[in-house]
Amino acid sequence: MKSMTGFAQHTISGDGIGGTITLKSYNNRFLDISVSLPPAASGIEPHVRDFLGSRISRGKIECTFRLRKMESFPQDIELHFQSAKMLSEQLRGLAEACQIDDRPTLEVLTRFPGIVEMNTEIDESGLWRIVLPALEETWREFEENRLREGLATEANIMSQLERLASKLAEVEAQADTLERLVHEQIVTRFKELLGEKYDEGRVLQEVAVQLVRLTINEEIERLKTHVEAFHLMSAQASCGKKLDFLCQEMNREVNTIGSKNMLVAISHAVVEMKDALENIREQLRNVE
């Protein structure tokens, strides 16, 4: 089992590109992918979505990129000589007007916006090639995180399933007692109405009719089959939704047993089974 919640962060560094990739995921019934990229790198969003969509089946996942150019080469620098000349003249005029014996230095001039511009745009054509290895590493850490959480969740779910199976065994042990109780009640009713001269064949016929309506053997067998199926399906990838559907079927059988029951011992076991199923379904909401 994999948890739907996870987190991982990895650094990007190479070919003049630096930054981080962050993956976060939350519980969600369906798959919801959110990708956050700098405007200059928006062209790789389809690649990122395809990457994530092919690896996860449900949950809300947020993938955030923080990217920057780590280097600027001479061809990436643009100097505005005319603007610098006009700025220098104005600053000298300001100094004279304030009667300050000073001249603007090159360091001062280059601090003003528009004098020196560096192109920090990211080249999209080669960006995916740079980002992909870092994204794969981030995903590996993300999966390890989800698997660790999933193992803890699976242990809790299986303990509740064992609890359900234990109570089901108690119900099965009481099934014959329930059938005897049905028989005794019908015999008692016939005696009350007809005395000791009742028709034994008519009693057996009525018992058969009532047992068809009240026997719980079929529900017990179906529940046992569902428990076995749960174990098998829990080993499959992306099993959360299937297991939730299976729990609904199990809950239906438990409710039917409860509606047919006339024994206190079975009533207590039904309550325990329903509580175990509710705990299982609650934890399955965090399973992919």
Residue-range domain boundaries for the chain: 6-71+122-147, 74-118, 148-284
Q: Could you report the per-residue pLDDT of 28-83, keeping only the tens digit for each? A: 989 999 999 988 888 899 999 999 999 999 999 999 999 887 654 444 667 878 88
pLDDT at 25: 96
pLDDT at 202: 64
* Distance (Å, whole) CA 141 – CA 146: 9
pLDDT at 73: 42
pLDDT at 247: 97
CA angle 136, 137, 140 (to 5 degrees): 90
Backbone dihedral region for residue 16 (phi beyond 0: left; psi -120 to 50: alpha; all else: beta) = left
pLDDT at 266: 92
Q: Give the predicted TM-score (pTM) of the model.
A: 0.69
CATH placement of domain 6-71+122-147: 3.30.230
